[in-house]
Chain A
Amino acid sequence: MSNEIIDALARALRLIAGVDPTLADIVLLSLRVSLAATVAGTLIGLPLGAVLAVSRFAGRGALVVLFNALMGLPPVVVGLAVYLLLSRSGALGGLGVLFTPTAMVIAQTILIAPIVASLARQVIEDLWAQHRDLFLSDGVGIVRRSAMLLSLGRYSLVTAILAGLGRALAEVGAILIVGGNIAGFTRTMTTAISLETSRGDLPLALGLGAILFALTLSINGAAYLIAQTARRAAL
């Protein structure tokens, strides 16, 4: 077993050093699809989470529970649902985006938005509890409340967004179905790992996994440093 891990790391280093063009394509596609989905998921999730946090209405509790539960959406089910929707025989078939990176972004956005929304709701709810008297006495409306609290809580919200990005980079089941794992077109790091495992090339699969993790680590490290710098500058 440890032999295979050493093989894997050696394979990973050789791939990177050799600047394998297929590897570069795969890494770039993973990044493009996951970043696009994270941006979309954040644009949907942050406002939703914030509004949910600062408003009070009948059925709010049920919505909170729903959003929390949606964090646990089974990816393969989302993939299947999106496939049926985007299939030529489906409702949005005319768009012709099945088996393209766009379909993968759509599926991943559906998976990420609830995560960002629920985490944002929690962060904003705590801030709201701290500041509500101020807001209420000034008679600030829901939209302005949400915007101001989102701004106040931005460092904590970065963690929510990074959680979404991490989820996106790790996704394999849904994007296999809606993307089709087409060589040179919809093959990402995770679907490539799945393929190489099927081929029995375990060292290569592990090596790709090591590279993927190194990538995720770097992105999170960069985000941390940026947040630290921004925080210090703001002081």
Chain B
Amino acid sequence: MLRRALLAILALLAQMPAGRAEDPFITVASTTSTEQSGLFQYLLPLFQQAAGITVRVVAVGTGQALKIGEHGDADVLLVHDKIGEDAFVAAGFGVGRHDVMYNDFVLVGPSGDPAGIAGVTDITEAFKRIAAKPATFVSRGDDSGTDRLEKRLWAAAGIDPVAARARWYKDIGSGMGPALNTAAAIEAYTISDRGTWISFKNRRALRIVLEGDKRLFNQYGVMLVNPARHPHVKAALGQRFIDWLVAPEGQRAIANYKIDGEQLFFPDAS
């Protein structure tokens, strides 16, 4: 009885199409900022036309994307945490890391600006004012590129809201979208990457309160998951994607992606 049931299930699953299996495809683990901003929706059809390769994007936080790469469940990684990426390559999980594009992070906050950030240009000064007020701050807390940067900024400001169990510091353990939804709803400050912010539709009273500090620079890098470590990785196809991204064609496409005339990502492959 059980055996018959198992065979029936296997037959069912075998009929489940694994996809348009005839088309060559690669799996790219990337971050929520590139997916939610709509960049991939714009770029990938262009790559598909140029190379005939379908790209399947799994969009998660940078920490999770690196883990997916470690397990060999993706062929290419496109993330934004250079420190994490370099460690990934050093540990032998990735090869051939290239800069691809950059933009920046912004500090967003309620239009009432309870912490009095308006006019401040130093991000650590802004963080000190938020802690001093104290004004509510939403943290992603999900080990993403954005989260790692935010924690580094608190350290630079000499404040440790996690150790202090600060009640104004709301660690929601989620992606950028949920963080913005939360900050909008409870009128709090939060750090966002510009790509997600520009395409975010539920701003309510949130607006940018600080931008332009050099420490808010946001570099995106792409690399191949090491085929020596995971032989099944589609190294050739993955490398074609990386090559396209850093070549003039891909770089031009990145620069051309705009929302309401505003450019979200700036190509900088050397």
Chain B residues closer than 8 Å to A231, beta-carbon distance: none
Chain B residues closer than 8 Å to A100, beta-carbon distance: 16, 18-19
Q: Does A173 contact B (CB under 8 A)?
A: no
Interface residues on A, range: 35 or more
Complex contact A88–B18 (CB within 8 A): no
Q: Does B73 contact A (CB under 8 A)?
A: yes
Beta-carbon contacts under 8 Å, B193-212 to A: 199-203
Complex contact B12–A198 (CB within 8 A): no
Complex contact B36–A198 (CB within 8 A): yes
Complex contact A43–B5 (CB within 8 A): yes
Closest to B28 in A: A182
Complex contact B32–A198 (CB within 8 A): yes
A36, A44, A185, A195: the one contacting B5 at CB < 8 Å is A44
Q: Does A82 contact B (CB under 8 A)?
A: no
Give how many A-B residue pairs fall within 8 Å (CB-CB): 100
Interface residues on B, range: 35 or more
Which stretch from A91-99, A131-139, A161-169, A221-229 is at the chain B interface? A91-99
Q: Does A16 contact B (CB under 8 A)?
A: no
Chain A residues closer than 8 Å to B40, beta-carbon distance: 183
Chain B residues closer than 8 Å to A89, beta-carbon distance: 70-73
Q: Tell me the complex Cα distance, A40–B12, Å.
A: 8
A32, A87, A106, A185: the one contacting B73 at CB < 8 Å is A87
Q: Does B255 contact A (CB under 8 A)?
A: no
Complex contact A180–B58 (CB within 8 A): yes
Complex contact B16–A36 (CB within 8 A): yes
Q: Does A216 contact B (CB under 8 A)?
A: no
Complex contact A43–B8 (CB within 8 A): yes
Beta-carbon contacts under 8 Å, B14-43 to A: 16-19, 27, 32, 35-36, 40-41
Complex contact B9–A40 (CB within 8 A): yes
Q: Tell me the complex Cα distance, A96–B231, Å.
A: 13
Q: Does B13 contact A (CB under 8 A)?
A: yes
Q: Does B232 contact A (CB under 8 A)?
A: yes
Q: Does A102 contact B (CB under 8 A)?
A: yes
Task: Please encode chain A, from 159 to 196, with 1 for each CB lying within 8 Å of some chain B CB and 0 for all others.
Answer: 00000000000000000000011110100000000010
Closest to B232 in A: A88
Q: Tell me the complex Cα distance, A197–B202, Å.
A: 9
Complex contact A47–B1 (CB within 8 A): yes
Q: Does B152 contact A (CB under 8 A)?
A: no
B74 CB → nearest A CB, Å: 8
Which stretch from B81-89, B104-112, B117-125, B176-184 is at the chain A interface? B176-184
Complex contact B36–A195 (CB within 8 A): yes
Q: Knowing A195-B36, A200-B180 touch, does A182 contact B58 (C-beta < 8 A)?
A: yes
Q: Does A118 contact B (CB under 8 A)?
A: no
Chain B residues closer than 8 Å to A39, beta-carbon distance: 12
Chain A residues closer than 8 Å to B36, beta-carbon distance: 195, 198-199
Q: Does B145 contact A (CB under 8 A)?
A: no
Complex contact B73–A88 (CB within 8 A): yes
Q: Does B267 contact A (CB under 8 A)?
A: no
Q: Does B57 contact A (CB under 8 A)?
A: yes
Beta-carbon contacts under 8 Å, A41-84 to B: 43-44, 47, 51
B9, B58, B184: the one contacting A44 at CB < 8 Å is B9
A88, A105, A185: the one contacting B19 at CB < 8 Å is A185
Smallest CB-CB A-B distances: 3 pairs: A198-B177, A200-B202, A180-B58
A-B contact pairs, 13 of them (CB 8 A): A36-B16, A47-B1, A51-B1, A88-B72, A88-B232, A89-B70, A93-B72, A99-B27, A105-B16, A183-B35, A183-B41, A200-B200, A202-B202
Q: Which residues of B contact A (CB under 8 A)?
A: 1-2, 5, 8-9, 12-13, 16-19, 27, 32, 35-36, 40-41, 56-60, 70-73, 175-178, 180-181, 184, 199-203, 230, 232
**Beyond A87-B73, A200-B203: 14 further Cβ-contacts under 8 Å?**
A32-B16, A99-B58, A101-B16, A101-B19, A102-B18, A105-B13, A180-B60, A181-B58, A181-B59, A183-B57, A198-B175, A198-B178, A199-B201, A202-B201
